[in-house]
Chain A
Amino acid sequence: MHRLGGAGLAALQRQQESLKSFDALSNQLSNAHVDNLHAQLDQFRNALTRFATHHRADIRSDPRFRHAFQQMCASIGVDPLAGPRRGGWWEEALGLGDWQSELGVQIVDVCVSTRDRNGGLIELSELVRLVSRLRGLEGGAITEEDVVRSIQALKPLGTGYEVLDFGDGGRKMVRSVPKELNEDQMVVLAIAAEQNGRVDEDFLVRRNAWTEERAKAVLSNMLLRDGTCWLDEQDGPNGMGRAYWVPAAMQWDD
């Protein structure tokens, strides 16, 4: 019978010897692997840093370039806009965290300063327009995508900023008050968006097959509790009707 390494005490010792050298060899190999990986990572990091520093100005000022850059980063699983905490060296290389925070502050500024006019609901394109005006020309152009990203970055602050998508591929609204909008309110907002801001009870009843009470309830909540719509008591041909207007869905020219 042939046992591993033969029989007897000498064989046992021989076996232990060879195990030991296998161990050493494996250590050596994995060290080489790790070193190799480190080197590759360094190379990757350097290349990215070089790319980032080289194109920093473009990334910050050109929305199309920024979009392409973000797509690239997303596909390799890095988030350049994660902010100082998560971004680390990446963030330092780019300085995009600052850019993102600045945009966030400007978004909050616009949302808060228009709140008494719209009750904390603003159309996304209107928000982009007002933020752009606030940034001036030197700030560089920004897109809806940038604003949506910034709003997502605001989420951990628990401020209740949220992008509402009506799913019709068209309008999006940004809510800046920490109130949940229920389903009925979303329906009213979507209809208001179609009607240049105007809704009335009859229309809601007919369109959604709601009861009168249901239409009344959602409108009165929006009007009295949330301040997200305005009352008009001079509606209709006789000037005596009641209609409701959602300022976030109205088209302002100024």
Chain B
Amino acid sequence: MNLSTYKTASGFLLPSIHSAPPFFTQQPNTATQAGFTEQWTRLLLAYARHRRLFTLRLEDAEVPGGEWDEVLRNPRINRRLMPNHLAHVLDVMVSKDLAVYEPAKQMRAVLLYWRSPDEWADVLHEWATNTGQLNTILTFYEISDPPVPSALSGIPESLLRGAIAVLAKSGRAQLISISDGDGVRFFPPRTK
């Protein structure tokens, strides 16, 4: 039995470590576990990016049938990532700013930063520029659910707010209160 990569139904290439049975068990040796956590982190973020998934819950490891099954389970070797192991990985990811607990004050669900707020800010500003929407007021809904699918389709509001805050700091956007919630206006970058 060789440990090899595997292409999932959604077209994601799982690394060969994913076919190693012990990869799914939380290791008692801290150095070994640190290596495993790093590999899980990389794998989860890559898969999230591939499927454009923003949220990961402990529930995804507890109950089968969710959108994370391809990664959290390996039916070919009859292994699954145990919820307490996932909790540990998420904890490390949060401590490294690769995810945040969302909502705050609980530890069962995270928002994944497969792009950091800074990177989202750049993507957001580029989108507004390329679609000719500088200086106009946009609602959050118009950004997260645009008529033409974009890099921002489906972006959770908290991530969007974070990106806008980054842009506001450099004078490239302004948060505006409008009748049915918040909106945003983008500005061209200030020339120095």
Contact = CB atoms under 8 A, between A and B. Distances in A.
Interface residues on B, range: 20 to 34
Given A227-B31, A253-B16, A254-B15, A245 B3 contact: no
Interface stretch (B22-30, B48-56, B112-120, B172-180): B22-30
B146 interface: no
A254 B1 contact: no
The secondary structure that dominates the A interface is mixed
B23 to A, nearest CB: 8
A254 B16 contact: yes
Interface stretch (A97-105, A141-149, A203-211, A232-240): A232-240
A29 B29 CA distance: 74
A243 interface: yes
Given A234-B78, A239-B78, A245-B21, A250 B32 contact: no
B99 to A, nearest CB: 22
B1 A251 contact: yes
B107 interface: no
Contacts of A196: 1
Contact of B22 (A227, A232, A239): A232
B32 A119 contact: yes
Interface string A208-239: 00000000000000011001001111110001
Interface in A114-145: 116-117, 119
A-B pairs, 10 with minimum CB distance: A230-B22, A253-B4, A116-B35, A232-B22, A251-B2, A232-B21, A233-B25, A254-B16, A245-B22, A253-B2
Given A117-B35, A239-B78, A250-B3, 7 more contacts: A231-B22, A234-B80, A239-B79, A243-B22, A251-B3, A254-B4, A254-B5
